[in-house]
Structure 1
């Protein structure tokens, strides 16, 4: 997936308007998710939309309700960085860099972490309606974790990290300690799973009416 051959060259006005609208809805997702604006968050996806992140995979409506249920337990902030887009009519593929900042207690120790990941999105505009997300999968590039107070011992046992990929091992460890289910095979950079996701996206885009 790639943008225009010359990214510094403006495209047609209607294409640039579509790109701006898609980027706005991607950015809005992050703000609305972190602010707990659940009704507004629901409007970023089509009704049948799906999402797959570390701790949840399924209908987006279920994701919104799950986020509502756990709000306030810990701090999290999604920093939505640059997106690259490929458009075909009323369909688009988007890849967005995301920094996820987290803070919370693990066994009484305040921990802070950052996960670098990418959202691979399918975005669609229907009729005269707005662009909305149809499908999102997170790819996990790199993560870190450390005690919030320097010099504090981190409650991490090496065996608890065994088998976890470097891109998400600390994220998965923290979420599992909080009682959530996290698969071992989350999409990693350069993995067969990421390649399959890209191929599926390309096929979907090529089938645009």
Structure 2
């Protein structure tokens, strides 16, 4: 039982490490993933090491983000775990005075190597989102907004206006993509 609790706490700390992105602590952020780890989120797909480099560029742009991370749900199989975590992404383009608030879930494949838990694969499922107007209402281009699923359309719009376009469709709550993602995760966990 003790070992199980230690593993759960280690994984919770790992998931909460996402704060390093918000704090621009890039070296700490790099430590969350195994070297071959990948990430698929609205504005980036690829190796996590490249994501950190791209996040550094984003950090010097007009776009500001903050992530609120909830307690993760963890399913273990020996040295592997599937971790699903509710999160909220708050973003604002300070130049445009336009922001968003999006609820998502991170769906992570996590593996323990040499006694250390790290992420191998991070994907995101988007549940719902809305625009925010920190300095008063700003007109949005509804034609652009309607290109994206409503669950993350505000985030995609703010990203696009900030120079970080969303180039494909991502999983939303209850979608076939979410079901396929979870099936692939369970198959990986069972190996």
TM-score (normalised: structure 2): 0.94
- Identify the match of residue 117 of structure 1 among 85, 98, 104: 104
Residue aligning to 2:59: 71
Residue aligning to 1:101: 90
Aligned mates of 1:63, 1:184 — CA distance in 2: 17
SS at match of 1:140: strand
Residue aligning to 2:75: 86
Q: Unpaired runs of 5+ in structure 2?
A: none
Q: Unpaired runs of 5+ in structure 1?
A: 1-11
Structure with bigger gyration radius: 1
- Give yes or no for the alignment of 1:126 onto 2:113: yes
SS at match of 1:109: coil
Q: Give 1:171 shift.
A: 0.8
Aligned mates of 1:136, 1:109 — CA distance in 2: 30
CA displacement 1:142-179 (0-9 Å, x = unmatched): 111132123x3x23122122242111111111111222
Aligned mates of 2:96, 2:148 — CA distance in 1: 22
RMSD: 1.3
Aligned mates of 1:120, 1:100 — CA distance in 2: 15
**How many equivalent residue pairs?**
190
- Identify the match of residue 158 of structure 2 among 162, 174, 177: 174
Q: Give 1:184 shift.
A: 4.0
TM-score (normalised: structure 1): 0.87
Aligned mates of 1:116, 1:183 — CA distance in 2: 20
Residue aligning to 2:124: 138
Aligned mates of 1:178, 1:104 — CA distance in 2: 7
Aligned mates of 1:199, 1:52 — CA distance in 2: 17
Residue aligning to 2:20: 32
Residue aligning to 1:201: 185
Q: Give 1:194 shift.
A: 0.6
